[in-house]
Structure 1
Amino acid sequence: MKSVEQTSLLQELISHKKVQKNLSVSQLVEKILDRDEGTLMSTGAIQATTGKYTGRSPDDKFIVRDETCENFIDWGSVNQAIDEKSFDNLYKKVINYLKEKDELFEFRGFAGADKKYRLPIQVINEYAWHNLFAKQLFISADDEELQSHDPGFTVVSAPTYKADPAVDGTNSETFILVSFKKRIILIGGTEYAGEIKKSIFSVMNYLLPQREVLSMHCSANVGQEGDVALFFGLSGTGKTTLSADPYRRLIGDDEHGWSPNGVFNVEGGCYAKCINLSQEKEPQIFDAIRFGSVLENVIFDKNSRIPDYDDTSLTENTRAAYPLENVDNIVTPSVAGHPNTIIFLTADASGTLPPISKLTKEQAMYHFLSGYTSKLAGTERGVTEPQATFSACFGSPFLPLAPSTYAKMLGEKIDQFNSNVFLVNTGWTGGSYGVGNRMKLSYTRAMVHAALEGELNTVETTKDDIFGFETPMHVPGVPDEVLVPKNTWEDKEAYDTEAKKLAMKFHNNFKKFTQASDEINQAGPLYRG
């Protein structure tokens, strides 16, 4: 429950006569153009820029430490604590700041496609284009639902309000503050719209496990026979691209819950990376970007207004936000059964991990807890080239609870539903970053297709002597030499050196999981120095 003071402040703000409530897409587009917040593209999409912050600001995210959550949050560098007094003071400043604006924009809807587990949300924006973003990314409430809509969480977004770290207790002018007690998310000092989406996801990662639902940073789709697939991975590893499959219906591209009844999408839209996007390579995403969609930091031709997805002069983290209904073959509502196949995606910048490997249950648990990938350029402030990183459960920045909470739930579900698990490397081959090349999307699609169709369950495999993976010797549509990474390197000794370095990074990272069983510990790389 919100405190009386917080509720009155919110009510005072949203009752302001200039708050525009639940505007339609067309109305929001008009507002954006009238207010000169964005530009209309040839596709009908709105293009907007996010200023100096073109990615998330993880160092500026805090959780309010109070009696309701202090014994449950996994406090540390990811979940930084801020005290209630600091939150309340900054909250009042932001509310008073927003009250002076000529217009504000309110969206009411839901997070969670399964009505049994959905969270009613309210988003209050300083910018019309941020409100359009929220409308496209979350699940809208219909007229009947609006009559009884009682927000379980409220996002207050004031991108032009800058904090004073010395006074406000923040790390910089930017702040993303979550209060579970007051059920408020306060965002300021950044125009990057992704903070709105990810803050709600973090909240769901706190609330859903309390209801025996595994919250997951993954995309999901379903085949013609009803078989469900999950794709775990951090930003830029291919979740959106690989789940957008013309032969399978999309459940969602980024955030899901796995309940006792099956899988459901947390969102109502997609937030796709669109660097080097083309109709030929990714037709579903390309064609989904039309009227009402939002393009973030995408460069365009000033005369034709045609987006140039290859231009990264602002950032490599160019984005497109669009509603699920813009994709032709989707599941409506975004709910399906239990997963048959689980795929862990990694963009390995060392170029040493196999492009696809079938994991035992113990290996699956090890690599879920490890969450290895290379953080790609642009997804966070200051990241300009791939950096090796370990992000527990492939989503550590968004996990308020200890990783073991989510891992334990995943292991139980793999056992219960006998899901097959694969590790797929969408990163580099033929050498590390700067020497080798990124894995061809056509090869990755072929390998994923083979995994989903069960074609890899009986094929001949070879055991990787450094990482211990069983890797297939043959996959239709993929040259055999690509399947064994060492074969793609000219300098075999250099491969061994880099692979052993990566193996030791796995071992050193896993030391922090002191409660992991011996079986899971032994499921890591065979090479131990």
Structure 2
Amino acid sequence: MTNSFTLQQHNIEVTNIVRNARPAKLYQEALAYEPEAAIADSGAIMVRSGEKTGRSPSDKRIVKHPDSEQDVWWGSVNVAVDEHTFEINRERAIDYLNTKDKLYVVDGFGGWDENERIKVRIICTRPYHALFMWNMLIRPTPEQLAEFGDPDYVVFNAGQFPANRYTMGMTSKTSVDLSFEEQEVVILGTEYAGEMKKGIFTVMNYIMPKKGVLSMHCSANEGDDGDVSIFFGLSGTGKTTLSADARRKLIGDDEHCWTDDGVFNIEGGCYAKAIDLSAEKEPEIYAAIKFGTVLENVVYDDYTHAVDYSDTTYTQNTRASYPIEYIPNAKIPCVGGHPKNIILLTADAFGVLPPVSKLTPEQAMYHFISGYTAKVAGTEMGVTEPQATFSACFGAAFMVWHPSKYAELLAEKMEEHGASAWLVNTGWTGGPFGIGSRINLPYTRAIIDAIHNGDLDNVDYVTDPIFGLAVPTSCPNVPDNLLIPKNTWSDAAAYDKQAEKLANLFIDNFEAYKEGSSEAIINAGPKL
């Protein structure tokens, strides 16, 4: 506790402030004040996030202000809120924070590149939220904390207190509001910790492209030769799992930026899905579940406190938050050179797309802008089974500019640094969801290994007749039959029908992005 530390500049008068407490202290606080906190047999702390167990994207708001109005991609992703309403919600949050006897503050950095990082302050009421952001932000040294000064962005997390549904523009008791001008995030009506993390990511997605830096919803790792791979994909497609590779150094699992010097991780930790987690399938992540790790909404044995990772009583979106150094081969500091391989991950619920295909630059842009995957159950509230979805740049929910802004930056950097692009399907084979089966993780890992080893550079390829993708006919440690999706279906006509259905979905979705896209990119999509 820092007695001289004050939040008066934020109009908060509470004097009992726990600032940048270490995990042991926050464990003690959580066990005292979190009603359902418990310690797992692994040493991790188990907590409940309350009613909300996933993000609430429909309740996200951005302040419409003359200084940033022309930059923002307004619509269903970035819903506008006026300055006055933001001020009402901020006042509501601050009033609530001022009712507390004790508050928790985490001051940390967003971004490992010291030239690009931002200073972030989290103000919250729950020890669990403080420990979560202690893990997810880059932790300052004592010297850096002493000289921290004023933060660049402040998150007021009053998630235990609801928004007023009668306030103009509010659609529920949940509201996550962001002002680029005030440099503040206000959270009301949700205690799901991921809202804080993604709020900072949204901030970076605004300020980085203004500087010519590409912000990306991706994981990244590095081989022994310094070759960097980045993995684009939504939650559930394998970003975290596939980037945690014992033979490569982990740069980060979710959020990165690509500068003129290379890539850097925005975060100081990882936020992994814990459903069906096992030491056999995901050994690096499983081993990271230890003292200091936060386990959200998991079910455990009352006697042994052993976690049942297959139990989805509370949610399918069970999660683990841990410092990145808990992955034994993490690269600290989390920075790397320019990527050699760009891997676009999709979990195709239709069972149509090949497990791996090599993309032309134009196809890479087309599939990056399209961002096709299946929305995996539990990632968002109300989603109980996979649904086909398109999310521009594989992360539209966090993008602030029009997707073309990020696509142009990616195209420029790929061309400048000669990166190869691949589409990897981690979804279904032998039929759609409900009939086929999920592609075995060992096969996907073998495909990623083949990309890194250059094994796919000198094999025969065939062209998919509808999607135009170059599909390898062989890959080490992967059955040849699996590589051509139609061969895995018992009914070839049913496959053709599904492929046509998916192609039409791609074509219809891309209508919104034709303006601003070159003819070459438009023509890189499927053809019927």
Tell me, yes or no, whether TM beats 0.5. yes
Which residue in the other structure is 2:26 paired with? 28
Provide the rounded CA distance (Å) in 1 between the counterparts of 2:270 and 2:9. 29
Structure 1, 486-495 or 139-148: larger mean CA deviation = 139-148
Tell me, yes or no, if the aligned pair for 1:63 and 1:178 is still in contact at 8 Å.
Answer: yes
Provide the rounded CA distance (Å) in 1 between the counterparts of 2:10 and 2:137. 22
Deviation at residue 12 of structure 1 after TM alignment: 3.2
Tell me, yes or no, if the aligned pair for 2:93 and 2:187 is still in contact at 8 Å.
Answer: no
Q: Indicate the SS of the match to 1:167.
A: coil
Which residue in the other structure is 1:225 paired with? 225
Deviation at residue 131 of structure 1 after TM alignment: 0.5
Deviation at residue 167 of structure 1 after TM alignment: 2.4
Residue 275 of structure 1 pairs with residue 264 of structure 2: no
Q: What are the equivalent positions in structure 2 for 1:134-173 lying under 5 Å apart? A: 134-149=133-148, 150-173=150-173
Residue 122 of structure 1 pairs with residue 154 of structure 2: no
Provide the rounded CA distance (Å) in 1 between the counterparts of 2:162 and 2:9. 20
Q: Indicate the SS of the match to 1:172.
A: coil
Provide the rounded CA distance (Å) in 2 between the counterparts of 1:33 and 1:400. 38
Residue 391 of structure 1 pairs with residue 373 of structure 2: no
Which residue in the other structure is 2:517 paired with? 516
Tell me, yes or no, if the aligned pair for 1:9 and 1:95 is still in contact at 8 Å.
Answer: no
Residue 347 of structure 1 pairs with residue 337 of structure 2: no
Deviation at residue 28 of structure 1 after TM alignment: 0.6
Tell me, yes or no, if the aligned pair for 1:105 and 1:126 is still in contact at 8 Å.
Answer: yes
Deviation at residue 303 of structure 1 after TM alignment: 0.8
Tell me, yes or no, if the aligned pair for 2:263 and 2:335 is still in contact at 8 Å.
Answer: yes
Q: Indicate the SS of the match to 2:378.
A: coil
Tell me, yes or no, if the aligned pair for 2:14 and 2:102 is still in contact at 8 Å.
Answer: no
Which residue in the other structure is 1:103 paired with? 102
Q: What are the equivalent positions in structure 2 for 1:190-201 lying under 5 Å apart? A: 190-201=190-201
Which residue in the other structure is 2:327 paired with? 327
Provide the rounded CA distance (Å) in 2 between the counterparts of 1:438 and 1:268. 31
Provide the rounded CA distance (Å) in 2 between the counterparts of 1:364 and 1:120. 34
Q: Indicate the SS of the match to 2:166.
A: helix
Deviation at residue 10 of structure 1 after TM alignment: 4.5
Tell me, yes or no, if the aligned pair for 1:273 and 1:317 is still in contact at 8 Å.
Answer: yes
Which residue in the other structure is 2:414 paired with? 414
Q: What is the CA deviation profile of residues 119-169 of structure 1, one whole-angstrom value per residue up to 9, with x for unaligned ones?
A: 100000111100100000110111111122120000010121111221253
Q: How many residues align?
A: 520
Which residue in the other structure is 2:358 paired with? 358
Provide the rounded CA distance (Å) in 1 between the counterparts of 2:114 and 2:7. 28
Provide the rounded CA distance (Å) in 2 between the counterparts of 1:291 and 1:10. 34
Q: What are the equivalent positions in structure 2 for 1:431-510 lying under 5 Å apart? A: 431-510=431-510
Q: Structure 1 segments of 4 or more deviating over 6 A?
A: none
Structure 1, 446-455 or 143-152: larger mean CA deviation = 143-152
Provide the rounded CA distance (Å) in 1 between the counterparts of 2:201 and 2:138. 13
Which residue in the other structure is 1:526 paired with? 527
Gaps of 5+ in 2: 1-5
Which residue in the other structure is 1:47 paired with? 46
Which residue in the other structure is 1:3 paired with? none
Provide the rounded CA distance (Å) in 1 between the counterparts of 2:95 and 2:8. 9
Give the share of equivalent positions with the same residue, in percent: 50
Provide the rounded CA distance (Å) in 1 between the counterparts of 2:152 and 2:499. 47
Tell me, yes or no, if the aligned pair for 1:136 and 1:322 is still in contact at 8 Å.
Answer: yes
**Aligned amino acid, residue 30 of structure 1:** Q
Q: What is the CA deviation profile of residues 454-475 of structure 1, one whole-angstrom value per residue up to 9, with x for unaligned ones?
A: 1111211111111111111001
Provide the rounded CA distance (Å) in 2 between the counterparts of 1:86 and 1:21. 30
Residue 83 of structure 1 pairs with residue 76 of structure 2: no
Which residue in the other structure is 1:70 paired with? 69
Q: What is the CA deviation profile of residues 80-129 of structure 1, one whole-angstrom value per residue up to 9, with x for unaligned ones?
A: 00011011112112111111112110000100001010010000011110
Deviation at residue 222 of structure 1 after TM alignment: 0.1
Which residue in the other structure is 1:181 paired with? 181
Q: What are the equivalent positions in structure 2 for 1:253-332 lying under 5 Å apart? A: 253-332=253-332
Provide the rounded CA distance (Å) in 2 between the counterparts of 1:392 and 1:250. 25
Tell me, yes or no, if the aligned pair for 1:486 and 1:495 is still in contact at 8 Å.
Answer: yes
Provide the rounded CA distance (Å) in 1 between the counterparts of 2:253 and 2:79. 28
Q: Indicate the SS of the match to 1:140.
A: coil
Deviation at residue 515 of structure 1 after TM alignment: 1.3
Q: Indicate the SS of the match to 1:317.
A: coil
Deviation at residue 16 of structure 1 after TM alignment: 2.1
Provide the rounded CA distance (Å) in 2 between the counterparts of 1:417 and 1:60. 39
Q: What are the equivalent positions in structure 2 for 1:196-215 lying under 5 Å apart? A: 196-215=196-215
Which residue in the other structure is 1:4 paired with? none
Provide the rounded CA distance (Å) in 2 between the counterparts of 1:392 and 1:49. 31
Q: Indicate the SS of the match to 1:457.
A: coil
Q: Indicate the SS of the match to 2:508.
A: helix
Deviation at residue 526 of structure 1 after TM alignment: 2.5
Provide the rounded CA distance (Å) in 2 between the counterparts of 1:50 and 1:487. 44
Provide the rounded CA distance (Å) in 2 between the counterparts of 1:179 and 1:307. 39
**Aligned amino acid, residue 188 of structure 1:** L
Provide the rounded CA distance (Å) in 2 between the counterparts of 1:67 and 1:8. 29
Q: Indicate the SS of the match to 2:207.
A: helix
Which residue in the other structure is 1:374 paired with? 374
Q: What is the CA deviation profile of residues 347-375 of structure 1, one whole-angstrom value per residue up to 9, with x for unaligned ones?
A: 00000000000000000000000000010
Gaps of 5+ in 1: 1-6
TM-score, scaled relative to structure 1: 0.97
Provide the rounded CA distance (Å) in 2 between the counterparts of 1:306 and 1:191. 25
Deviation at residue 19 of structure 1 after TM alignment: 1.7
**Aligned amino acid, residue 15 of structure 2:** K
Q: Indicate the SS of the match to 2:476.
A: coil
> Superposition RMSD on alpha carbons, in Å?
1.1
Deviation at residue 11 of structure 1 after TM alignment: 3.4
Provide the rounded CA distance (Å) in 2 between the counterparts of 1:342 and 1:103. 46
The alpha-carbon distance between structure 1 residues 9 and 62, as it changes in their structure 2 partners (threshold 3 A), is farther
Tell me, yes or no, if the aligned pair for 2:293 and 2:320 is still in contact at 8 Å.
Answer: yes
Provide the rounded CA distance (Å) in 2 between the counterparts of 1:53 and 1:351. 31
**Aligned amino acid, residue 520 of structure 2:** E
Deviation at residue 503 of structure 1 after TM alignment: 0.4
Deviation at residue 68 of structure 1 after TM alignment: 1.9
Tell me, yes or no, if the aligned pair for 1:90 and 1:168 is still in contact at 8 Å.
Answer: no
Provide the rounded CA distance (Å) in 2 between the counterparts of 1:36 and 1:176. 23
Deviation at residue 8 of structure 1 after TM alignment: 8.4
TM-score, scaled relative to structure 2: 0.97
Tell me, yes or no, if the aligned pair for 2:208 and 2:215 is still in contact at 8 Å.
Answer: yes
Provide the rounded CA distance (Å) in 2 between the counterparts of 1:185 and 1:495. 46
